[in-house]
Amino acid sequence: MRSDPEATISATIGRTVKASLRTRDGEVATVRRMRVLEALERLYASARTGEATLSHRQMTGLAGEVYGLLRSRFDDDPGDPAAWEAWKGFVRAARQGRIPTAPSISPEELVDEREEAARLFGPDLSAGIDALPPSGDRAALEDRCGRLTWWVLSRHGMHVDRATRLRILEYVADACLDAGWALKRAAQGDYTPDQKALRFPKVETRAAGITLTKIFDRWQKETKPAPSTITTWKAILRTFLAHVKHDDAGCVTSADIVAWKDARIASGRALKTIADSDLACLKTLFRYAVANRILTSNPVEGIRVVVKKKAGQRMLGYADADVARLLALSAGETHPARRWLPLLAALTGARVGELAALWGSSVVEREGVVGIEIAPSPDGSSLKNEGSERFVPLHPEIVRQGFVEYARSKGRAPLFYGKPAKGSAEGRHPSKGTANHLASWIRENGFTNERIAPAHGLRHFWKSTASRIGMADSIADTIQGHSDQSSAGTYRHISIAQMAAAVATIPIPTAAEDADGAMPVPPLTTASV
C-alpha cells in the first residue's frame, strides 16, 4: 500500500480502539497498556485542539527525537557499514524526489536493503542516485519517513496541517541522514560523539495553535455562564490579548500574567477587581484547558493580588433612617421599578438583580403563603449560584400596598423591564439595566455614601435587622439564599410557614415630617400580620 501525502484523509473515531499488546506477561501488558492509553489521550487532545502550525525550532526539535530514537535502537549493534550506506541512499533519493516510492523505515529493526538498492541504483550507489532527476514529488518521502514522523507527532499529541507535515517529513529525513552517518561509523567501530546531535533543540512540550479565544468559546458552550459574565470576560480577554500581542494559549507564560497584572494595577484598576475578575477569568479558562487536556499547565496558578483590608473600606448597609427615607421616595413613584424594587429588597432581603428579573408569574401561593419564586426567568436571566433559587414569602406590608395585584395584572410578562430577552441573545439580560438604573436613581436622590452600595445596601440592612430582632441565622440564610456549608446544615430544612412567620417580624422603618421640615425616624414598628 502506498500513501499519498497530497490526499486528505478523514477518519471517524468509533467507540472502541483495539490492538494487541504482543505479550502474555501480565506485568508487561499493564505497562504497555498504560503507554497506549497515554498515547490515545494525546491523540484525542490533538483532535480537540485542531491542526497546529509548528515553528522551525519545534520541527528541528521533533526531528532530533527521531535522530535519538534511531541512535538508541541501533547504536549497540549497528550491523554492517554497507547496510547503512544502502539505508542512507534510499533516504537521500526519497528526500530529493528522485524515486517514486521507497521502503518504510522501521524503528524496531534494521532491514538489509543492499540488494534492493543495487537493483534500483546500480553498483555505484551515489552515482546511480545522482543520475536520477530530482523532483518535488514527496510520495517516496512519505513512504520512507512517514512512520517516524507519525511516531514523533503522536508522542507529543500534535495534529498538524498538510503543509506542516510535508515540512516535518523533510526535517525528519535530514535527521535520518545524520543518524545514518553516525551509525555507519559506529558499525566501523567509531563511537566518537556526533557533533551534529548538538544541533537539535529540546521540543517545547505545549499544545501549539490553540487560542485563548477558542478555549473561551468551548468553556462558554459547556458551562453556559450568565450573559453578564460573558460580556465582562470577553472584555478582560481582549485587554489581555492586546497586552501579550498574540492569541496562542500555549505561549502564555507566568511572566506574561504577572506583567499584565502589574499593568492593570498601574492603570489604577481596583485591586479587588483585578483579583476577583481579571485573574479569576484567566485562571478559570486555563484550568478548563488543563482539565480537558488542551494544555499541560496553568500559567495563572499561584499568581494573586495582595488585597489588604483597610479600615474605612468595608461595605456597609443602610441605617434605619436611610431606609425610611428611601421607602418614602419609592412610595411616591409611578415607575414600577422605582415603586416596588426598594420595598421588595428591604423586606425580602433578596438581591435587586433577582428581583428585577421577576415576572408576573413569579408571584405564587405555596402552602397558603403568597410569595415570590426566585429562579431563572422564562427569558433566560441567571442567578448567582444553585442555592439562590428559592421561594421567599412576601412581607404583609408588600401585600398591603398592592404589589400582588400589580404582579397579577402583568401576567406572564416581566414586571420591571419591557420586552423579554430573545432566547438566542448572548448579551446582557435586560433586568441588569433595570437594576443599574435603579442604583443610579438612588444615588441621584442623595444616597451618596460610597461604602453603601445603592441597591445592595438594602440586602445588608435586611440581614442586620434580622439579627437584631433575634431571627435564627438558619432561617435568615434560607430566606436570602445563603447556603449553610456546615454538616448540620445539610440535615436542616426550613418550612415555608417558618419563613413566612420570620419575614412578617421584619419591622418597617417609617419617617414623619417635623415642623422644621426634618424627617426624624420613630421607633421601628412591626407590621400586623
Residue 514: which pLDDT band, with cuts at 50, 70 and 90?
Answer: very low
Predicted TM-score of the model (pTM): 0.52
User: Which residues pair with residue 366 across a beta bridge?
Assistant: 369
Is 381 found in the same domain as 237?
Answer: no
**pLDDT > 90? residue 364:** yes
Instruction: State the pLDDT at residue 344.
Output: 96
Domain end call among 199, 232, 264: 199
Q: Rounded CA gap, 72 and 77, in Å?
A: 10
Residue 18 is assigned to a structural domain of this protein: no
pLDDT of residue 519: 37
- Residue 16 covered by a domain: no
Fill in the DSSP letter of residue 278: I
**Which residue carries 506574561 as its cell?**
256
Instruction: Assess whether 148 and 100 both reside in one domain.
Output: yes
**Position 517 pLDDT exceeds 60:** no
pLDDT of residue 250: 82
Angle at 332 between CA 329 and CA 334, to 5 degrees: 120
Inform me whether the pLDDT recorded for 26 exceeds 90.
Answer: no
Is residue 12 domain-resident?
no
Q: Lay out the sheet containing 363-366: strands in order across.
A: 363-366, 369-374, 390-393
CA separation for the pair 523, 154 (Å, rounded): 76
Residue for cell digits 412567620?
A: 501
pLDDT score, position 499:
94
Tell me the pLDDT tens digit for each residue of 388-446.
889 999 999 999 999 999 999 999 999 999 888 876 556 678 898 999 999 999 999 99
pLDDT digits (tens, 9 = 90+) for 205-217: 554 468 899 999 9
Q: Is residue 526 part of a domain?
A: no
Judged by phi (left if over 0) then psi (alpha if -120 to 50, else beta), residue 122 lies in left
89, pLDDT greater than 60: yes
Percent of the chain with pLDDT over 90: 60
Q: Return the exposure string of 308-337: e unless at least 16 CB atoms fall within 10 Å of the residue's CB, then b.
A: eeeeeeeeebbbbebbbbbbbbbeeeeebb
Residue range 496-522: mean pLDDT, rounded: 70
Q: What is the pLDDT of residues 122-150, one digit of tens each?
A: 999 999 999 999 999 999 999 999 999 99
Same structural domain, 217 and 194: no
Let me know whether 236 and 338 are in one domain. no
Q: Is residue 529 part of a domain?
A: no
Residue with cell 480537558: 292
Q: Classify residue 232: in a domain, yes or no.
A: yes
Residue 335 lies in a domain: yes
3 against 220, higher pLDDT: 220
Same domain, yes or no, for 148 and 77? Answer: yes
Same domain membership, residue 482 and residue 366? yes
The answer to whether residues 62 and 165 belong to one domain is yes
Domain check: are 144 and 54 in the same one? yes
Residue tagged 401561593 (cell numbers): 365
Higher pLDDT, 312 or 175: 175
The pLDDT score that the predictor gives to residue 21 is 75
- Cell numbers of 237, please? 480577554
Q: Categorize the per-residue pLDDT at 262 as very low, low, confident or very high, splitting at 50, 70 and 90.
A: very high
Assess whether pLDDT exceeds 70 at residue 1.
no
AA identity, residue 269: R
Mean pLDDT score of the chain: 85
Please list, in sequence order, all residues whose beta carbon lies within 8 angstroms of the beta carbon of residue 127, skipping any fewer than 6 positions away: none
Rounded to whole angstroms, the Cα distance separating 276 from 273 reads 5
490 located within any domain: yes
Least confident of 42-46, 108-112, 173-177, 391-395: 42-46
Cell of 345: 429588597
Residues 282 and 349 in one domain: no
Q: Which domain holds residue 152?
A: 26-199
For residue 280, what is the domain's CATH number?
A: 1.10.150
Q: Rounded CA gap, 151 and 168, in Å?
A: 12
**What is residue 300's three-state secondary structure?**
coil
Contacts of 494 (CB under 8 A, 6+ apart): 474, 475, 478
Q: For residue 414, give the DSSP letter.
A: B
Same domain, 242 and 381: no
Residue 74 has pLDDT above 50, yes or no: yes
Say whether both 442 and 346 belong to one domain: yes
pLDDT number for residue 347: 95
- Give the domain CATH number at 482: 1.10.443
Round to whole Å and give the CA distance between 282 and 275: 11
| Domain shared by 135 and 232, yes or no | no
Flag the least confident range among 213-217, 285-289, 378-382. 378-382
Domain final position from 291, 309, 328: 291
Give strand pairing partners of 374: 390
Q: How many domains does the chain have?
A: 3
